[in-house]
Structure 1
Amino acid sequence: MTVFHRNELKSPLPDSLKGGVVAIGNFDGVHRGHQAVLHRALELAQARGVPALVLTFEPHPRSLFQPQKPVFRLTPAPMKARLLEAMGFRCVVEYPFDREFAGRSPEDFVKSILKDWLDASEVVTGFDFHFGKGREGGPAYLMEAGHRHGFGVTMLDAFRDENAEVVSSSRIRDLLSEGRIGEVNGLLGYRFTVEAEVIKGKQLGRQLGFPTANMALQPEATLRAGIYAVRLRRPDGVIRDGVASFGYRPTVTEDGAPLLETFVFDFSGDLYGEVCAVSFFAHLRDEWKFDGLDPLVAQIRKDEQEARAALSAVAPLSLLDGRIAF
């Protein structure tokens, strides 16, 4: 996977990547709505024998315009790139979304980036894509600009689920805050996955007989506090089942910071310092405060058995899910 970052954007794009089909969007979550756009770009590129690229923007636009209201990134840049690679893309352009970029005219965006730098032969995006200063560039503008500059434009309508509801990242965030993992995974088309470095905790789990791999998620994460059946993937690709607790550990601390603690089944190794991925399969229960450690341990044993049962007969939701969580 080739990922172009800020400093590399001043250099010419390799000739092998020019003239391709470019999917444009923020694609936070890479959910089924995004996948409709992305799959169309892949199909067009394959049919024409040209490269397929993704043009996305970092950081999330809200981080620039509303820094006081940070957005929970369903897929931070590294996770997004991993998903796009699993879909079949070999190049992702992470364009810097800063004040200079936000102030560009729509024509400057089209000419300097789409035409001169990428030399796009086709642009694929959602119907609601807007760009340029004040979001002045919209679908009609892009279609007309494509005609002038010699590239095609394909726009897809909003993707709706089986209940005719629009699939969106904000809807998925709301469902995560309610612990409705099954519905989240259905809208994503793959198991919701987070990725972070395993850090040292107070090692209380080890003392209780349930050592955990601890990860600090984004401070703005809206994931509901509770217990989940999960799978953990190590950097070498090895996957193990487990049960995870996300929350504040009210039984053992009064002011704990939110932490994801994963007890990996049948494993006794050291994961400290590894960047691991945890995929969520089911929400088992909310986080509870227990009257001491003995009832906590008894409940953890029950959670382990329930998680093992929940994970015993799972199957991939899609090809993408099979590449991420299996």
Structure 2
Amino acid sequence: MKSALKLYRSLPRYNCEAPSALTIGNFDGVHLGHQAILRRVHEQAVREHLVPSVMTFAPHPRAYFALRGKRPELIPTQISSLRDKLEAITAAGIQQVYLARFNQAMADMLAQDFIEQILVRGLNTRWLLVGADFRYGHKRAGDVALLRQAGEQYGFEVETIDDVVDAEGRRISSSELRTALAVGQLDRARHLLGKPYHLSGHVIHGQKLGRQIGFPTMNIPVPEHCAVRSGIYIVRAHGLGPEPLAGIASLGVRPTVQSQGRLLLEVHLLNSQLNAYGKLARIEFLEFVRDEEKFPDLDTMIAAIRQDAQGAQDYFAIHGL
């Protein structure tokens, strides 16, 4: 049985003496490359009786610098919610996550202070896994050579890992995954993740319009800068019953019924009616159907939804759940 994840938003930790096997990164999406890194950390932690650990950041450092520089267009889109990221990290055997607030103090921290305050005193690091080009500290002044030097002084080992590539030799990265999701290439996303892409969230109350037009929907909030292309998707819903449920979903801002809507995932279950409010649903994206559209009237929109739902029924008749 896996241990419960210990999540720290500040240091020192509750159990600050426990020695760590650590890796550092944003881990957005927790794709196959990330999974290889996390497996390596877990293996080494078991071998050396250490706590398998991850240090990650909120917000993404690039998002912080984009906002500070008043360049919001440079904010990276978000593949996973924090919940989904932590769930995937835990599934890989990680028992401890330090979720560091990336702010001005973190941006200004000297490389040596990063090592001493976070790696040594904060996490009692005994083994560290980073990419060969890993940089840290103010103006990214710290590198792997400085880490190795500090490791000799403070008693931790540094291991580097090369890029993880797929069968075609292409690097598996969050950037590649964002690109696939941005254009609706769900097969490519599945290839990079090792499983279908999903979003999860608690079902919230909406406008109830779907119910009025004969297509009731579950409304699920998504990350503000969601990486997924807006549009209509064939989906599979988990967490609402003993078996997955077939559905058709719309990810977007509902331009036909709202002029300034927030991004929302609306899921219509094809053959099920249930009260899902408050439940945590995991929605797997199986196939991109079409882009979101602004229709001239409700009747035109209803006809399109009916056609989308029939297409999803045909998909599941062929592929099953």
TM over 0.5: yes
What residue is the counterpart of 1:10 in the other structure?
12
- CA–CA distance in 2 between the matches of 1:246 and 1:314? 23
Q: How does 1:114-263 map to 2 (within 5 A)?
A: 114-234=119-239, 239-263=244-268
Please say which of residues 251-260 and 78-87 is displaced more in the overlay. 251-260
Cα contact 2:78–2:227 (8 A) shared by 1: no
State the identity %: 34
Following superposition, the deviation at residue 21 of structure 1 comes to: 1.3
Label 1:236 to 1:14 Cα distance change in 2 as closer, same or farther (>3 A). Answer: farther
- CA–CA distance in 2 between the matches of 1:125 and 1:314? 41
- CA–CA distance in 1 between the matches of 2:30 and 2:319? 22
Per-residue deviation, residues 258-305 of structure 1 (Å, max 9, x unmatched): 321101233322222334332212112223455654454444344234
What residue is the counterpart of 2:46 in the other structure?
46
**Which amino acid letter does the alignment assign opposite residue 171 of structure 2?**
V
- CA–CA distance in 2 between the matches of 1:236 and 1:91? 30
- CA–CA distance in 2 between the matches of 1:283 and 1:159? 27
- CA–CA distance in 2 between the matches of 1:2 and 1:257? 32
* 1:98 maps to 2:103: yes
- TM-score for the superposition, normalised by structure 1: 0.85
- CA–CA distance in 2 between the matches of 1:175 and 1:123? 31
- CA–CA distance in 2 between the matches of 1:60 and 1:237? 36
- CA–CA distance in 2 between the matches of 1:221 and 1:133? 29
Please say which of residues 299-308 and 163-172 is displaced more in the overlay. 299-308
What residue is the counterpart of 1:319 in the other structure?
none
What residue is the counterpart of 2:66 in the other structure?
66
> Aligned to 2:36, what secondary structure does the other structure show?
helix
Following superposition, the deviation at residue 252 of structure 1 comes to: 4.0
**Which amino acid letter does the alignment assign opposite residue 158 of structure 1?**
D
User: Which 5+ residue runs of structure 2 have no aligned equivalent?
Assistant: none
Cα contact 1:193–1:278 (8 A) shared by 2: yes
**Which amino acid letter does the alignment assign opposite residue 47 of structure 2?**
A
Cα contact 1:13–1:117 (8 A) shared by 2: no
User: Which 5+ residue runs of structure 1 have no aligned equivalent?
Assistant: 316-325
> Aligned to 2:189, what secondary structure does the other structure show?
helix
What residue is the counterpart of 1:282 in the other structure?
287
What residue is the counterpart of 1:36 in the other structure?
36
Please say which of residues 152-161 and 237-246 is displaced more in the overlay. 237-246
- CA–CA distance in 2 between the matches of 1:223 and 1:11? 35
Following superposition, the deviation at residue 83 of structure 1 comes to: 0.8
